[in-house]
Structure 1
Amino acid sequence: MDRDLWSGLAVFAAIVDAGSFARAATRLGLSPSALSHAMRSLETKLGVRLLDRTTRSLAPTPAGEELLLRLKPAIDSVESALSDLDSGRDKPAGRIRVSAHRVAAIYAVLPRLADFARAYPDVTVKLTVDDGFVDIVADRFDCGVRHAMTLQGDMISVRISDPVPLVYVAAPSYLHDRAPPAHPDDLDAHRCLCYRHTSSGVVHRWEFEGGGRAFERTIRGDFTTNDVDVLRDAAVAGLGVACLPQPHAERQLADGTLVEVLAGWATTLPPNHLYYPSRRQPSAAFRVFVDAMRV
């Protein structure tokens, strides 16, 4: 088969799978203009339009749909063959694409990567940090890292961290002329810094445990952000009280730029899990990566 034709067919399948030229370009490591040129060339060679495109949408034409029905099994077969080939290597090699939320990336994934790189120098890791919900199948990640409570039911998951304690904090400068909150009811008299979930847009409800019960409160956010680093830095700057994962505030608590408030009231998040689709055929590189991440 014409090499350019096969390349064009693979690009066509990737664009439809991604749902846009921009997303497909990111997955393939190419520019959107290069993919657009490849599609024009493919349609010219075949003498038929395969995609209906507008400024806001993209969909295969009836001819494109028919071609995809026949093309996808061939692509799946090639990917399976490559996976089998990789499994037979003496030394695992390849690329692992990981999506993780920021705290897990820093405190669960990164600490293990140096040893992993020394043990498997031919395996490269592409770590994308995103605190929102990510569809790892649609976005072509090999795996994701999230708290267990957010995982989809059809995923295989591997625990890679212990439960993650939360902590309520404020800067000494903020507390200089006001009494620190000792009970959740005291928060009504304080400025509170809140986290907004990237995907849903929902503001995180603060959770408390104490007095033999667990409960949540909707907090009036005097400052709101969707980035946990910015949330911590806002607390350090003296903007108010924040709820943070304890690992993300340990250095500031140690050097005194933050102090704990509401001691004994904070809850704990579930462990972080690495997860991937149950139907995925793991390569040798992916298997050793999972083993390196598990606790």
Structure 2
Amino acid sequence: MNAPPLASLNDLHTFATVARTRNFRRAAAELGVSPSALSHALRALEARLGVRLLNRTTRSVAPTEAGQRLLDRVAPALRELHGALDAVNAFRDSPLGTLRINAPRAACAWVLAPLVSRFLAEYPGMRVELVADDRFVDIVAGGFDAGVRFGESVQQDMVAVPLGAAQHFVVVAAPAYLAARGTPDCPRALTAHSCIRVRFPGGQYYRWEFRRGSEQVEIEVDGPLATDDMHVMIAAAEAGLGLAYVYAQYAAPAIAAGRLVSVLDDWRPPEPGFFLYYPSHRLPPAGLRAFIDLARRIHPDNRP
């Protein structure tokens, strides 16, 4: 009689999910099991293999050297298997499965929320996991089917699909601030003003971009507050802390109410658009293909 295998396909999928997410709770939620059941399953796998695969602390989980070697070999094979199973979806009237998308918070609110609602209504066999995250995320390592970013932020080895209309930025300040400090008449005048700096989650500061005709400039501003949350930027600008560079949609209610005033309108910031992207070396799953087709039907001007 043949001995049972040391690890089943389900065991390997479970291990790869924990190793990828590096968090038992997130992995358990993704797999639909309890964290304690997941931990027990991983310990049983380690016992059968006779080697520790994961280093666990109260705050983190990370693969050991042996675990990383196993993950490096297993992850591509699991992706191939998932791709093979997804190929069956091509023969269904409607795709089945889960679509995982990583996107900035603004894209989730303005572009993806209505699109996802329409998608789920048209494809009831699908589920969507939409993760709002302003960081630049490796969607392959994170186990996502696709991501959303501005066009210039998408890596060259990705397929990018336009998603919705261009997004506009404005520079705003409270009327009281402008009365006290004056109104800047050109981007370079911002260096004499208090500005609310845009800080990326990775720690870098955004240089404010402007364009007038063929002239483009980038200004490194300064000020007492830096944040990656535009709601905080607008609240700080309303309080008179300085000028803020924000999405026009975020600032529109405060401008309409007179709490903020837009400046440098003749130096209009660039108008970037959101793009849905996925790896060029991987055939998109049926659910993602259906999502892209829907986006192009809703926004016909974004066809390639």
One-letter amino acid of the counterpart of residue 224, structure 2:
D
In structure 2, what is the Cα distance between the partners aligned to 1:194 and 1:107? Answer: 23
One-letter amino acid of the counterpart of residue 277, structure 1:
P
Q: Does the 8 Å contact 1:25/1:35 carry over to 2?
A: yes
Q: Does the 8 Å contact 2:210/2:270 carry over to 1?
A: no
In structure 2, what is the Cα distance between the partners aligned to 1:32 and 1:18? Answer: 13
242 and 86 in structure 1: CA distance in 2 versus 1, 3 angstrom threshold:
same
Corresponding position: 1:58 with 2:63: yes
| Residue aligned with 1:281, SS | coil
In structure 2, what is the Cα distance between the partners aligned to 1:148 and 1:100? Answer: 13
Partner of 2:149: 146
50 and 80 in structure 1: CA distance in 2 versus 1, 3 angstrom threshold:
farther
2:232 to 230, 233, 237: 230
Runs of at least 5 residues in structure 1 that lack an aligned partner in the other structure: none
| Residue aligned with 2:64, SS | strand
| Residue aligned with 2:165, SS | coil
Question: Which region of structure 1 is more displaced relative to structure 2, 243-252 or 152-161?
Answer: 243-252
Runs of at least 5 residues in structure 2 that lack an aligned partner in the other structure: 300-304
| Residue aligned with 2:144, SS | coil
Please give the root-mean-square deviation of Cα atoms over the aligned residues, in Å.
2.9
In structure 2, what is the Cα distance between the partners aligned to 1:85 and 1:211? Answer: 51
Q: How does 1:14-93 map to 2 (within 5 A)?
A: 14-18=17-21, 21=24, 24-25=27-28, 27-30=30-33, 32-44=35-47, 46-51=48-53, 53=55, 55=57, 57-61=62-66, 65=69, 69=73, 71=74, 75-93=78-96
One-letter amino acid of the counterpart of residue 265, structure 1:
W
1:264 to 263, 266, 270: 266
Q: Does the 8 Å contact 1:168/1:266 carry over to 2?
A: no
3 and 230 in structure 1: CA distance in 2 versus 1, 3 angstrom threshold:
farther
In structure 1, what is the Cα distance between the partners aligned to 2:191 and 2:258? Answer: 25
Q: Does the 8 Å contact 1:167/1:246 carry over to 2?
A: yes
User: TM-score with structure 2 length normalisation?
Assistant: 0.83
In structure 2, what is the Cα distance between the partners aligned to 1:31 and 1:225? Answer: 35
Q: How does 1:180-259 map to 2 (within 5 A)?
A: 180-199=183-202, 201-210=203-212, 213-259=215-261
CA offsets, 1:120-158, max 9 Å, x none?
A: 233222211111101111111111110111111111110
Question: Which region of structure 1 is more displaced relative to structure 2, 255-264 or 107-116?
Answer: 107-116
189 and 98 in structure 1: CA distance in 2 versus 1, 3 angstrom threshold:
same
Q: Does the 8 Å contact 1:87/1:283 carry over to 2?
A: no
User: TM-score with structure 1 length normalisation?
Assistant: 0.85
Percent of paired sites with the same residue: 38
| Residue aligned with 2:139, SS | coil
Question: Which region of structure 1 is more displaced relative to structure 2, 277-286 or 217-226?
Answer: 277-286
Q: In the comparison of the two structures, how many residue pairs are matched?
A: 291
In structure 2, what is the Cα distance between the partners aligned to 1:73 and 1:262? Answer: 50
Partner of 1:122: 125
Partner of 1:166: 169
